[in-house]
Amino acid sequence: MTDPTNVLVLNAATHSERLAELTADLPVRIVHDPFSITWDEIAGRRAGKIEELTPATDSVREALSEAEVAFGFGFPLKTTELAPGLRWAETPATGFDQLNGTGLLESKVHVTAIGGLFAPWVSEHVFALIFSLLRRLSEFDESQRGSTWQVRQVTSLAGKTIGIVGLGNIGTAVARSAKSFGMNVLGLRRSATRPPEVDRVFAPGGLREMLAQCDVVVLAVTGNDETRNMIGAAELEAMPDHAVLINVARGLVVDEGALVDALRAGHIGGAGLDAFLQEPLPSDSPLWTAPNTVVTPHIAPNVPEKLLRCVEHFAANLRRYCDGQELHDLVRG
Q: Per-residue pLDDT tens for 280-301?
A: 999 999 999 999 999 999 999 9
Segment 131-178, tens digit of pLDDT: 999 999 999 999 999 999 999 999 999 999 999 999 999 999 999 999
The confidence score (pLDDT) of residue 1 equals 52
> Are 199 and 313 contained in the same domain?
no
Segment 96-125, tens digit of pLDDT: 999 999 999 999 999 999 999 999 999 999
% residues pLDDT > 70 (the chain): 99
Distance in angstroms (rounded) separating the CA atoms of residues 2 and 28: 10
> Are 86 and 149 contained in the same domain?
no
The confidence score (pLDDT) of residue 290 equals 98
Highest mean pLDDT: which range of 50-54, 94-98, 218-222: 218-222
Cβ–Cβ < 8 Å for 273, 294: yes
> Are 99 and 206 contained in the same domain?
no
> Are 131 and 268 contained in the same domain?
yes
> Are 126 and 232 contained in the same domain?
yes
The angle at the Cα of 149, spanning 159 to 269, to the nearest 5 degrees, equals 35
> Are 144 and 257 contained in the same domain?
yes
Domain count, the chain: 2
Buried b (16+ CB within 10 A) or exposed e, 43-73: bbbbbeeeeebbebeeebeebbeebbbbbbb
Residue 49 pLDDT greater than 80, yes or no: no
Which residues are designated catalytic?
A: 250, 279, 298
> Are 204 and 279 contained in the same domain?
yes
pTM of the entire predicted model = 0.94
Segment 258-280, tens digit of pLDDT: 999 999 999 999 999 999 999 99
Segment 27-48, tens digit of pLDDT: 999 999 999 998 888 888 887 7
Segment 11-31, tens digit of pLDDT: 999 999 999 999 999 999 999
Residue 211 pLDDT greater than 70, yes or no: yes
CATH number of the domain bearing residue 84: 3.40.50.720
Q: How many helices, marked H, and strands, marked E, lie in the chain?
A: 11, 13
> Are 95 and 126 contained in the same domain?
no
> Are 290 and 146 contained in the same domain?
yes
> Are 144 and 211 contained in the same domain?
yes
User: Among 51-55, 224-228, 251-255, whose mean pLDDT is lowest?
Assistant: 51-55
> Are 171 and 50 contained in the same domain?
no
- The parent domain of residue 11 ranges over 5-116+304-332
Q: Region 299-314: what's the mean pLDDT?
A: 97
The SS3 call for residue 309 is: helix
- Computed over every residue of the chain, the mean pLDDT equals 95
> Are 90 and 148 contained in the same domain?
no
